[in-house]
Every structure is written in C-alpha cells, then in structure tokens.
Structure 1
Amino acid sequence: MNMQEAAVRADEILDGTFAAIKPAVHWTHERSTEGNCDVQRRRAVMTIISEERRGSFLGLIERYWEGKGYKQLSVNNSDMPAMYYRTPDQFNVRVLIGGAGQAFFEVATPCVNVSEVSPPKAETVGPNYAGKLTPIPDVKSDFWSAKSSPSSRT
C-alpha cells in the first residue's frame, strides 16, 4: 500500500463513520497532512453537539467502530472527551469533542510506501473550510444541539 492508497482508505473510514451518524451532521474537511510514510485525514463537525447529547454522539461512534472490529485504545473523559481506536488494518482513529461542542475526527494511517497524495474527494455537508481556519460550529440540529437528554431509544 502506498500513501495515496492509505489516504483513500482513511477517507473510506471517515465516510463510513459519518454515514453512521443519524441524524446526519454538517462537516468540513480539516487539513490533511503527510509524514515521511503516513497520512492524517481530519474532519470537523459544524453541527453543535450540546453537552447533553455528547454522550449519545460518542456512544453512537463507539458502537459503530466496535461493530467494524476496531479496538479501543483509550478514552478521555475530561472536559474535552475523546476516544481512540485502531482498525484491524492498523489505522488509528480518533474523535474528540472540543470547545463549543465541536467534534473533531482524525484517521492516521500506518507507515506505507511513499507516494504523492491527492486531497480528499468527499463533498462536505455544508461549506468546505479546507485550507482555512475552521470556525466554531454554527449549525443547530433539533437532535444533536438539544439541551435535554435523549430518550433511551437513541
């Protein structure tokens, strides 16, 4: 596998994760970086995830990743909760809830053969801030931004 193929795989991991988020959220690409033999792909959620809904959001991601066979590496339960996982093919995935209820996703590839890497091809949901400073989340969701705890059905 080369860096371009690994980047495509990282994008597939992100695409699958975002497809599993129901109701859907608005998101944008963040900077993609290349190391000596690895690639990191990042996305920021532009939908506000309220403090009351963060546990449900992270639980949904956790169930999806574990259902795909990803192994949990660590969990951070601080004011900025985060989960770290590894895929069966050795890609590291992370979700972190930052200030203002903004979720940040990152996929880091294993070391692979060096090659050129193209930018991600996925169309964002909402404006694309790639290459620019990502603003704080500004999209309200009846579900994800609600100030009440979700029912047990979520």
Structure 2
Amino acid sequence: MDMQAAAERSDAILDAVLREVRPELRWTHGPTTVGSCDLTRRRVVMTDISAARRGNLLGVVDRFWRKNGYRMTAVNNDESFPAIYAQTRDGFSVSLRIGGEGQAFFQVDTPCVRESEVADST
C-alpha cells in the first residue's frame, strides 16, 4: 500500500463512522500531515456537542468501532476532554477527542506504507 491508498483507506474509515452518528454532524476536513512513511487524516466536527450529549457520541463511535473489529487501545474518561482510541485490524489508529467547548476531532493515523504523493481530501 502506498501513501495515497492509505489516505483513501483513512477517508473511508472516517466516512463510515460519521455516517453512523444521528443526528448528522456538520464537519470539515482537517489538515493532512505526511511523515516519512505514514500520514494522518483528520475531520473536525463543526457541530458543538453539548456536555450532556458527549457521552452518547463517544458511545455510538465506540460501539461502531468494536462492531467492525477495531481493538480499543485507550479511553480517556476526563469529564472535560473525553477521548477514545482504537486500532483497525490492518493497523490504522483511530481516535475521537472532545474539546472543552464541545468540539469533536476524528483522526486516523496510518501504519508505515510506501512513499508516494498524497492528494488532499475531497
């Protein structure tokens, strides 16, 4: 797999989890960062998640990732900044982090892959 294929896989991972959330979230692409043999794709949720609904969002995402065979690697139960982290069977690390004002950040970090050009998310 090269970096472009890894970027496309990362986008598919992000698309799939965002489709699970109801009501639908407004989001935008975050920056893509490229390392020597890996990359990171991000989605920034524009919908502010109320303190009362943050646990629900984390639960929906947690259940979806587990249902799809992801291995949960860490959970941060902090009241202000909760987060969950997991890894796919093919080595992609995924996370959902909640900011203090209810901002939500999804991120996928790829495993090491062959170097190639990487197109921006569309």
Range class of TM-score, shorter chain = over 0.9
CA distance in 1, matches of 2:2, 2:35: 12
Partner of 1:80 in structure 2?
A: 81
Structure 1, residues 25-70: CA drift from partner, whole Å, max 9, x if none?
1001111100000010001111111000111010000011111100
Partner of 2:99 in structure 1?
A: 98
Correspondence 1:120 to 2:118: no
TM-score (norm 2): 0.97
Root mean square deviation, CA, Å: 0.6
Correspondence 1:34 to 2:51: no
Choose between structure 1 and 2: higher strand proportion.
2
List structure 1 runs of 4+ shifted beyond 2 angstroms: none
CA distance in 2, matches of 1:64, 1:24: 15
Partner of 2:10 in structure 1?
A: 10
Choose between structure 1 and 2: higher helix proportion.
2
CA distance in 1, matches of 2:37, 2:121: 18
TM-score (norm 1): 0.77
The number of residues matched between the two structures is 121
* 1:99 positional shift: 2.0
CA distance in 1, matches of 2:117, 2:18: 26
Structure 1, residues 76-127: CA drift from partner, whole Å, max 9, x if none?
1112000000001100000000021010010000000000000012xxxxxx
Partner of 2:22 in structure 1?
A: 22
Q: Unaligned stretches of 5+ in structure 1?
A: 122-154
CA distance in 2, matches of 1:71, 1:42: 20
* 1:22 positional shift: 1.1
- Percent of pairs with identical residues: 50
Is the radius of gyration larger for structure 1 or structure 2? Answer: 1
CA distance in 2, matches of 1:100, 1:46: 11
CA distance in 1, matches of 2:61, 2:29: 18
